Amino acid sequence: MLPLILSADYRAVKVNVIVLICIVIAVNAPLSSQASPTTPTADVQSDVLVISPQPFENSTEPELLDNPRDEDESVSTDHPVKYTGAQLWRISYDDQVRKNAVADLQHKFNVAMWNLNGTSVDMFLKKPVIADARKLLENAKVPFDVVIDDLQHAIDTENPPPEVIEQLQNRKGHRMTWSAYHRLSDIHGYLEYLANTYPEICSVQSIGNSIEGRPLLVLRISNGNAKNKAVWIDGGIHAREWISPATVTYIIDQLVEYREDQPKYVQDIDWYILPVANPDGYEYTHLVDRLWRKNRRPSVNGRCHGVDLNRNFGYHWGEQGASRQPCAETFAGMSAFSEPESLAQKNFFERSGADFQAFLSFHSYGQYILYPWGYDRFVPPDHKELDRLGREAAVLMKKSGGASYSVGPSGSLLYPASGGSDDWGKGTLGIKYCYTIELRDSGRTGFILPANQIISTSKEAQIFAYKVAETITHG
């Protein structure tokens, strides 16, 4: 899920006209090649475009309107960022008065948006602005709920106490528990353990190094059949979405440690799994700032760090929903694949001879199964098949006792955001089934999902991955 800036709402009337024109053009667009957009079929929420950050080219926005997030360079491992008294508010967002009030809030108090759907937005407010923000919404008569009343308390209690974690560990030759969120060394240690313990089916390779020099480890799980189709899974491209690496490693555990229990069509897939696509950011969220999203590229001006890796892939790079401001949460980088983490994925796919039929990228939060395109409100020619698989999976996930997931093309269901890895998988690599899965929850805890939900979340994600495997095997 991404943060958005609402400042552009000040030009709401003007931009709405542009939106209408764009939709008319889109509807009349020819359906020539895969890269050429086809008619959007999902609900077009024209308001969402209004709040997207400006595209790179021809942007007339002043620099700091582009979704900035100030970074205090004095924070360090010794002084982690504290969010005492910071709150998450869910604000009604279904008419223009309310949208303007939210825009006002963001403009005046630099409030971050955590999530957005047709009826409400989740806004994250630091303690010093809360009283004034409350007044603003009350004066504008905009209803809202305080969803998290002290973010630091949520952070302090999302993992079980260290003694409990310690008890669960060291029983199985590795340190993973799926009852707690783990540091990178535990996750990487687990991959090495699997490769050592199950050398007939598991191997680990580093596909490159992060900007701070951490390895990007991919686990391959395969029975070696030459005819196997391949599935790519990545997690943790956004650092603070801790449930993503936790879920992806759980799926790995099922595929390897419980191999005989898995259906044949699952055993006959070559799985390539990158559990932590942004290892520097992940460690930074453990040591310094729990809410960090990007990688840790130092910026040229020295004031802000990080590129949003899910805006750095080279298909329609730098268009809507991506920022050119280094301080922005959605900074797309200096060019497509400017970052070693995204470039490593590109190089891996270019080298690999595997027959990739699916590309699954796990994020949080919101409970969505999203398919391309993300760069705009268009869908690819085979969108009905992507939609059908998504819906069938969502039904199975729900039936198993899991959460409810909404299914749709990400540019329309959420908001346009260009440079995502899913779009690149489909548009450039030509992989048929590309999805971004926004895991739990739907907003009660946001990015700070308590560790006691790891297993239930992972089980529904596993059902999704298996449905993908079944579909590419049997149709």
Known catalytic residues are: 438
Q: Are the CB atoms for 461 and 437 separated by under 8 Å?
A: yes
- 448/440 Cα distance (integer angstroms): 10
Cα 117 to Cα 92, 96, 97, 407: the distances in Å are: 10, 15, 16, 13
Residue 55, contacted partner among ligand ARG, Zn ion, none, CB below 5-8 A by kind? none
If one asks whether residue 408 binds ligand ARG (CB under 6 A), the answer comes out as: no
Number of shown-chain residues binding Zn ion (CB under 5 A): 2
Among 175, 182, 188, 238, binds Zn ion (CB under 5 A): 238
Which residues, 6 or more positions from 264, have their beta carbon under 8 angstroms from its beta carbon? none
Shortest spacing between CB 365 and ligand ARG, in angstroms? 9
If one asks whether residue 363 binds ligand ARG (CB under 6 A), the answer comes out as: yes
Among 423, 435, 454, 469, binds ligand ARG (CB under 6 A): 423
Place of tokens 């508010």: 89
Q: Are the CB atoms for 247 and 439 separated by under 8 Å?
A: yes
Q: Which stretch binds ligand ARG (CB under 6 A): 14-22, 417-425, 444-452, 456-464?
A: 417-425
- 37/215 Cα distance (integer angstroms): 37
Among 1, 19, 155, 449, binds ligand ARG (CB under 6 A): 1
* φ, ψ at 406 (rounded to 5°): -95, 145
Shortest spacing between CB 433 and ligand ARG, in angstroms? 14
Q: Which stretch binds Zn ion (CB under 5 A): 37-45, 105-113, 204-212, 232-240?
A: 232-240
Residue 410, contacted partner among Zn ion, ligand ARG, none, CB below 5-8 A by kind? ligand ARG
Task: Pick out residues in 365-394 that bind ligand ARG (CB under 6 A).
Answer: 370, 374
Closer to Zn ion by CB, 188 or 238: give it.
Answer: 238
Shortest spacing between CB 386 and Zn ion, in angstroms? 19
- 105/313 Cα distance (integer angstroms): 31
If one asks whether residue 363 binds Zn ion (CB under 5 A), the answer comes out as: yes
How many other β-carbons are positioned within 10 Å of the β-carbon of residue 258?
Answer: 9
If one asks whether residue 417 binds ligand ARG (CB under 6 A), the answer comes out as: yes
Closer to Zn ion by CB, 255 or 322: give it.
Answer: 322
Q: Are the CB atoms for 458 and 247 separated by under 8 Å?
A: yes
Shortest spacing between CB 97 and Zn ion, in angstroms? 30
If one asks whether residue 276 binds ligand ARG (CB under 6 A), the answer comes out as: no
If one asks whether residue 436 binds ligand ARG (CB under 6 A), the answer comes out as: yes
Among 53, 160, 281, 420, binds ligand ARG (CB under 6 A): 420
If one asks whether residue 2 binds ligand ARG (CB under 6 A), the answer comes out as: yes
Closer to ligand ARG by CB, 190 or 373: give it.
Answer: 373
Which residues, 6 or more positions from 290, have their beta carbon under 8 angstroms from its beta carbon? 80, 81, 83, 155, 240, 447, 448
Residue 278, contacted partner among Zn ion, ligand ARG, none, CB below 5-8 A by kind? none
Shortest spacing between CB 34 and Zn ion, in angstroms? 25
Q: Which stretch binds ligand ARG (CB under 6 A): 73-81, 104-112, 205-213, 416-424?
A: 416-424
Shortest spacing between CB 241 and ligand ARG, in angstroms? 9
Residue 280, contacted partner among ligand ARG, Zn ion, none, CB below 5-8 A by kind? none
If one asks whether residue 235 binds ligand ARG (CB under 6 A), the answer comes out as: no
Shortest spacing between CB 370 and ligand ARG, in angstroms? 5
If one asks whether residue 422 binds ligand ARG (CB under 6 A), the answer comes out as: yes
If one asks whether residue 269 binds ligand ARG (CB under 6 A), the answer comes out as: no
Shortest spacing between CB 363 and Zn ion, in angstroms? 3
What residues line the site for Zn ion (CB under 5 A)?
Answer: 238, 363
**Residues that bind ligand ARG in the complex, under the rule CB under 6 A:** 1-2, 310, 363, 370, 374, 410, 417, 420, 422-423, 436
